[in-house]
A = this chain, B = another copy of it.
Amino acid sequence: MTPTEILTLYHLRKTPTRLSILEYLQISHLPQSENEIHKKMQDSYDRITFYRTIQTLMEAGIIHRIVADNTTVRYALNHYNSQLDEQNHDHVHFYCTKCGKVECMEEVVVQPYHLPDGYKIEECNVVVKGLCRQCIIKDHDR
């Protein structure tokens, strides 16, 4: 689905900033930070606009925010797999402590948790920290 089609589907105006952020997230293999997105766009928009666009796209359910760390925030497109209707089967995120890479582990499903009576669960975020393949290989080499 193209960025234009996505925005049409969600009844959102097709503004240049929204279209190019969506396009960039589609091309990107990994979740991207505000900084990375802004650099790629060559300052074609104000940072304020980015944050508002992100909020709009998140509220619509088109993208999601990954908070890997107190200083590491990334954004990625939502990929709806078949079991979307069933339960909110969210996926796990991986954060490499060596190279800082963040990955959406679409195939690793978040385990449901049971909290004491009186709590209402809305969402569950799981960040697994460790070393990615490349960083383990580099570690071996030296």
Q: Is the CB of B94 within 8 A of A105?
A: no
- Closest chain B residue to A92, Cβ basis: B113
Question: Is A44 among interface residues, defined by CB-CB distance under 8 A?
Answer: no
For the residues of A in contact with B, the DSSP-based class is strand
Q: Render A48-73 as a binary contact track against B, CB cut-off 8 A, 1 for contact.
A: 00000000000000000101011001
Q: Is the CB of A119 within 8 A of B130?
A: yes
Q: Is the CB of B124 within 8 A of A127?
A: yes
Measured in the bound complex, the distance between the Cα atoms of B67 and A69 in whole Å is: 7
- State the copy count for this chain: 2
Question: Is A6 among interface residues, defined by CB-CB distance under 8 A?
Answer: no
Count residues on chain A whose CB falls below 8 Å from chain B CBs: 33
- Enumerate 26 A-B pairs (CB-CB under 8 Å) in ascending A order: A65-B70, A67-B67, A67-B70, A92-B113, A92-B115, A105-B115, A107-B116, A108-B113, A108-B114, A111-B113, A113-B126, A113-B128, A115-B130, A118-B133, A119-B130, A119-B131, A119-B133, A120-B130, A122-B129, A122-B131, A123-B129, A124-B126, A124-B128, A124-B129, A125-B126, A125-B127
